[in-house]
Structure 1
């Protein structure tokens, strides 16, 4: 029991330490957003101080008018009363003008901060390594960029200015009450005790509630995005009903957290009103006795009542602000977590110059394991001469795709070195490496835009003639010309106007145009039908000519164009030779080759 108790205490301490760290991280992010805008912020502070002081002066002017100006007016001297009314109206007009300028300045500050934060998120998530995007799902990234940023935007657009104005107003109101009637200020001071207890209770409860609500919201968005992204699989496997039930449960969880938060506001708001009314009643009662005694003027009592009543007015606005604040604070914590992520494959600070690579690839004592699993490659040594086409064959999980990701430097090896033309990949800049090493994956992603624009990703400054030549080289030209607008056809997101095989052909044309020294095809022909595959294989001979190529494929028809085959098993090469040699050797590849030949029959 004692050991268990100790573990719980250690876990609690760890959670507290982690919470402090997360809050400090959020404060650093907020500070970095505010620092460039400090001049505007100081100007906004000056505006709100002056406008609040003028606004708070109203009850004091009323007190002066009742206790001093009215008695003089009764004897025929209207000048003091007229001057008091003029000053009161002037203060009101000036307050309105200054408040307008304050809101304009704070709006510009808020939008500048939001613009900066949104850009940082987009730029930073693009810089992060593939490892992050495989670990941190697309739904969660989208939630950070949409709902979380919207929560912060709501806070900055209105809630923050309301907090500043409200807090300043309460401070100045209390100060004014202290100056005109210290005894009424003492009553207000006593009222702050139950107000502080109620507000602290509200803060703790809503803090927990909004954290839970943000988690529920993130799960909701994540599941929605994943369901819509995989809608074809959902329909193919009739998952509509289970998805509906699961999504309904997520919605119910979200609704439940919102209901609890509404209940908290239902207690807090009436509590504020009650404390405010009791305070006003106490000021009226004790002030009334002093008026009867003649120790307090009616004007001062009126002003004291107004100040006591107005003191609590911003509390309701601050409570509404706290709604936005808790949501935004939780969102800022999540965003700061993403922005703190460092690329697991960082760009080198002093890269070697690689103007034109030959394409020689070597693995020296390479070991690799993912952070979430066991070792994938074990003391792996491999030499791929420049210009050689090799095929990687093996069962799922043998390490083929991992090897390709290491050549592309989507990951760095846990141990050992991967080299290109004798240079450690970690010494080559990402810019040069991406130019010289191109991977075509099974999922040929097409961006919104025309077919020509998607091909030009391989070479942004390519001419129309070069684009067409690249498409012809891989056998894509004919089907592109049959599209409604030829090369100017908008493929829509994920290539909505073209088939999976056609998308793959466009990705081959893109790779051909890029003209890399090393080309990696990771199951890149798996989505092609037999006629398309034959057409592409003809184009691949052109595509692979004069460059190093690594082909990962289960279709042995694709393997046949390779000059060398590596059979992998459990992170090791168990067979190495030409396709003809291995097909006659009686080993693993021979068995795969025989099974493939039998399937054709």
Structure 2
């Protein structure tokens, strides 16, 4: 399934075939989640059957106590009435114990299923390729892990219990009523006709409303996450008022759809009560005449009235189950769509090991397009010998970052092959690929934790001495030592305790600690000030000496340390040579360099 297919799930208009496909996909996911706990589910079903039978026995025992126990008591025989009371009390205790047991069992089952599902979503979103994450907004991913999983949790924790207990209770109650008095059973059967019509009316109208409610809720989350993530841009461009209007509109949409849901329940709930009251009234009327005629015992009539009334009690809870079910079903559809998404960059079926990479990179007949009508690299051939430092320059949109992403195998070429030491990247073992090629971007993302933890991402088993050595190599040691806790300082979310330039230096230390054969720097010095950039350049001259390096930079000062400069325009290399040779020439790089020199003045 494509990313656009997943996005399509946020809409309400599906063809019949698409709806069937989505439902089948959701059922497959549900089956795979329940399969590991199927025996526990079976045991829980047995317990709830026994507990429901114990609860339903009450009115029949009351009828027996009235019709048999009271006449015996008048004859000075107290045993039938006492025995009936004792059995009634015993069934109540047994039912309560079994219900408590079932509640605990179902809670353990739901938690096991939720843990499994939460892990699957997290692992899958990590496994999916960069293409997916660039098309699927972060807010929607967060919605899958929060509101959607909460909807499924609500269904598993209470909704399923309501459905199972309600269905069993209604079934056992109907059987008991028919066994006790067939005519009252026929009255109950007749009440099922308007009950079915009302329930069907509710289902048809609520299905669309619940789906709209989930979509409206997801839109709220997406807007909130995007606003908070981009709060600097919001503040910089004074977009608060506009965001307030947009968010207010989304809130209003959510309010309206929930208002319609409430109106739906405002008709459904009273309708259930009305049908139940009419059924009880008819049973009472017919039963009263039959009691007078001696065709029905008064205890049996009382039990029939209790059974008829109790038959409708679970309906309101089951209606709430349908609410939970619709929300959970919509959530399960979205989650199953993400889980069935296939990585655009799949792992090789039979991976080739490359225990020690040297760093020779080759592009052979590479063609790449993000979309069918957007070709970025029309035809590309390039050979980078091991240990050579390459600088990629060119105007924005020339294809430099795309080239780097292909080299790091964030994407696969549409046609052609990218090789590392003669091995196609598509066949290389993922562990060997990630160990051999490291890419540092201008984002310089830091995770919650200490500075040392963030540097150690490059080598999780690194010693403190190795971490410090990596920081010293890129000129980060001094500012880290000046932090409140030194290397143990918590950088907080998104590196809030350090500046943008300092975050970049930490990301450099992380990359150098990984010690890759190929190091790609994609605008990695853009956040550095001039003194920090000079420190990094000094470190790069030493640290890149024995490895292949590809440097993408608009600051041409970084190009000075390169062995070779490639000038790209529209996905094609238009110049290739040593920096000094190109500067002395009259080509594109000479013009870029001259313009850069003038900007410094």
State the TM bucket, normalised to the shorter chain. Answer: over 0.9
1:80 shift after superposition: 1.0
Contact 1:474 1:542 in 2 (8 A): no
Measure, in 2, the Cα distance between the counterparts of 1:352 and 1:95.
61
Q: Equivalent residues in 2 for 1:87-166 (5 A)?
A: 87-166=87-166
Please name the residue that 1:18 is paired with.
18
C-alpha displacement at 1:585, in angstroms?
Answer: 2.1
How far residue 372 of structure 1 moved from its aligned partner, in angstroms, is: 7.0
The question of whether the paired residues in 2 share the 8 Å contact of 1:33 and 1:113 is answered with: yes
Shift in Å, 1:128 = 1.1
- Match for residue 595 of structure 2? 595
Q: In angstroms, what is the RMSD of aligned CA positions?
A: 1.3
CA distance in 2, matches of 1:273, 1:265: 12
Does residue 294 in structure 1 map to residue 300 in structure 2?
no
Q: Deviations over 1:410-456 (max 9, x none)?
A: 01000000000000001101111000000000000111111111111
1:370 alignment partner, SS class: strand
CA-CA distance at 1:349 after TM superposition: 2.2
Q: CA deviation at 1:79?
A: 1.2
CA offsets 1:268-290 (integer angstroms, 9 cap, x no match): 00000000000000111111111
Residues 39-95 of structure 1: CA distance to partner in whole angstroms, max 9, x if unpaired? 111111111111111111111111111112211211211111111111111111111
Q: Deviations over 1:161-191 (max 9, x none)?
A: 1111111000000011111111111111111
Alignment correspondent of 1:38: 38
User: How much does 1:137 deviate?
Assistant: 1.1
Q: CA deviation at 1:341?
A: 0.9
- Structure-1 separation of matches of 2:371 and 2:331: 27
Would the alpha carbon gap of residues 465 and 14 (structure 1) be closer, same or farther in structure 2, given more than 3 Å must change? closer
> Unpaired runs of 5+ in structure 1?
1-11
Distance 2:35 2:463 in 1: 45
Q: Distance in 2 between matches of 1:254 and 1:14?
A: 21
Question: Which shifted more, 578-587 or 134-143?
Answer: 578-587
Equivalent-residue separation in structure 2 for 1:233 and 1:308 (angstroms)? 63
Query: How much has 1:14 moved relative to structure 2?
Result: 6.6
Quote the residue 2:522 is aligned against.
522
Q: Output the CA distance in 2 between the equivalents of 1:30 and 1:584.
A: 67
Q: Which residue of 1 aligns with 2:468?
A: 468
Partner residue in 2 for 1:365: 365
The structural deviation recorded for 1:508 is: 0.7
Q: How does the TM-score come out when normalised to structure 1?
A: 0.97
Following the alignment from structure 1 to structure 2, what is the Cα–Cα distance between the partners of residues 48 and 567? 73
Deviation, 1:584, is 2.4
Shift of 1:300: 1.0
Aligned to 1:326: 326
Which range moves more in the overlay, 300-309 or 73-82?
Answer: 73-82
1:236-267 deviation per Cα after TM superposition (whole angstroms, max 9, x unaligned): 11111111111111111111111110110111
Q: How does 1:488-567 map to 2 (within 5 A)?
A: 488-567=488-567
Other structure's SS at 1:330 match: helix
Offset at residue 543 of structure 1 (A): 2.2
Matches within 5 A, 1:355-504: 355-371=355-371, 374-504=374-504
Alignment deviations for residues 305-339 of structure 1 (CA, whole Å, 9 cap, x no partner) = 11110000000111112121111111111111111
* SS of match in other structure, 1:419: strand
In structure 1, distance between residues paired with 2:461 and 2:87: 68
Structure 2 equivalent of residue 8 of structure 1: none
Quote the residue 1:269 is aligned against: 269
- Show structure 1 runs of 4+ deviating over 4 A: none
Q: Deviations over 1:197-218 (max 9, x none)?
A: 1111111111111111111111
Count residues with an aligned counterpart. Answer: 591
Alpha-carbon distance in structure 2 between the residues aligned to 1:259 and 1:273: 22
Offset, 1:347: 1.0
Q: Using the TM superposition, give the Cα deviation of residue 147 of structure 1 relative to its aligned residue in structure 2, in angstroms.
A: 0.8
Are the aligned partners of 1:368 and 1:375 in contact in 2 as well (CA < 8 Å)?
yes
Mapped contact 1:362–1:420 kept (Cα < 8 A): yes
Q: How far off is 1:491 after superposition? A: 0.9
